[in-house]
């Protein structure tokens, strides 16, 4: 059964399948991120982490934009002389976009339906999978406003694309469409706009067919080892694997071994291991 909760700048709805749709809802501002939006997103993601009905999180935007980045008026100008407001907004943004979303146990998909600029790259990078409409538009326009891509935008953009491409697009402010975003490493895949939601739902269903604990540990491992050398990664992944075996309530590894070795019915790479039927 679908359920909704009302917010000022964000729409939240969990459908009957387990997908929670989070929609930035400031279409008149191209979904630019205001202090209120950041505070609401912090609350939303904190709650979803332990929400049993949420299996996959999808972030998208109302209207023709995913997000145009930070709201120049509300986030910057109106907090220039309000250090308390600026601190609250910046802290909420950092918590939801670089902590709660990045390290969530729930898989996350950015469904990029239109414009994605500047500060929006931080939350985009925090999502596990990015599905973009072919006509979506990505860009760093800060150079044209007399500022740099700050607030970790330069960092996450440089992590997604090559060094040369990071310099080129940040220095020129040129835009990138959905197909090019895939080529550069900003998006996972691009599809025609009319197929965007259909493809997003299909991938969400594919994720939900897998063990949620194994999925959580997998995404955490991939993210964690990016900043490690080979020896550190080897030790970390060994410990993470042992931790998963102890934490997985479905004992997916043991069942997979049994089905493959003893029952001869599981074909890795061709289909997900069948999960046990819920008691609910």
Question: Token pair of 230, please?
Answer: 């080979």
- DSSP letter at 79? G
Residues 90, 99 contacting (CB under 8 angstroms): no
Least confident of 17-21, 55-59, 87-91, 228-232: 87-91
What is the percentage of the chain residues whose pLDDT exceeds 70? 92
Give the model confidence (pLDDT) of 152-210 as tens digits: 999 999 999 999 999 999 999 999 999 999 999 999 999 999 999 999 999 999 999 99
Q: Which fold has domain 3-208?
A: 2-enoyl-CoA Hydratase; Chain A, domain 1 (3.90.226)
Q: Where are the beta strands (DSSP E) in the chain?
A: 3-6, 10-14, 19-24, 56-61, 65-67, 108-112, 115-117, 129-133, 137-139, 175-177, 189-191
pTM of the model: 0.91
Longest CA–CA separation in the chain, Å: 68
Residue reference for tokens 């109302």: 62
Give the model confidence (pLDDT) of 94-129 as tens digits: 999 999 999 999 999 999 999 999 999 999 999 999
Give the model confidence (pLDDT) of 257-275 as tens digits: 777 777 767 656 556 666 6
């Amino acid at each position: 059964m679908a359920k909704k909760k009302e917010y000022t700048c964000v729409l939240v709805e969990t459908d009957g399948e387990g997908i929670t749709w989070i929609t930035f809802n400031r279409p008149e501002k191209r979904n630019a991120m205001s202090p209120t939006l950041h505070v609401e997103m912090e609350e939303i993601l904190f709650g979803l982490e332990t929400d049993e009905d949420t299996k996959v999180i999808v972030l998208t935007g109302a209207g023709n934009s995913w997000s145009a980045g930070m709201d120049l008026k509300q986030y910057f100008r109106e907090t220039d002389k309000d250090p308390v407001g600026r601190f609250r907004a910046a802290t909420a943004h950092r918590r939801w976009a670089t902590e709660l979303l990045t390290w969530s146990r729930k898989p996350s998909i950015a469904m990029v339906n239109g414009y994605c600029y500047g500060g929006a790259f931080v939350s985009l990078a925090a999502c596990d999978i990015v599905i973009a409409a072919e006509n979506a538009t990505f860009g760093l326009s800060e150079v044209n406003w007399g500022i740099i891509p700050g607030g970790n935008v330069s960092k996450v953009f440089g992590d997604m694309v090559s060094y040369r491409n990071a310099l080129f697009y940040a220095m020129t402010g040129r835009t990138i469409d959905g197909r090019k975003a895939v080529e550069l490493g900003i998006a996972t895949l691009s599809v025609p706009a009319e197929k965007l939601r259909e493809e997003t739902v299909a991938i969400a269903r594919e994720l939900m067919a897998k063990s949620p604990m194994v999925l959580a540990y997998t995404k955490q491992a991939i993210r964690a080892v990016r900043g490690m050398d080979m020896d550190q990664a080897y030790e970390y992944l060994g410990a993470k694997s042992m931790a998963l075996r102890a934490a997985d309530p479905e004992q997916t590894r043991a069942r997979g071994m049994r089905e493959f070795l003893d029952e001869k019915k599981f074909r890795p790479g061709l289909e997900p291991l069948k999960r046990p039927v819920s008691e609910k």
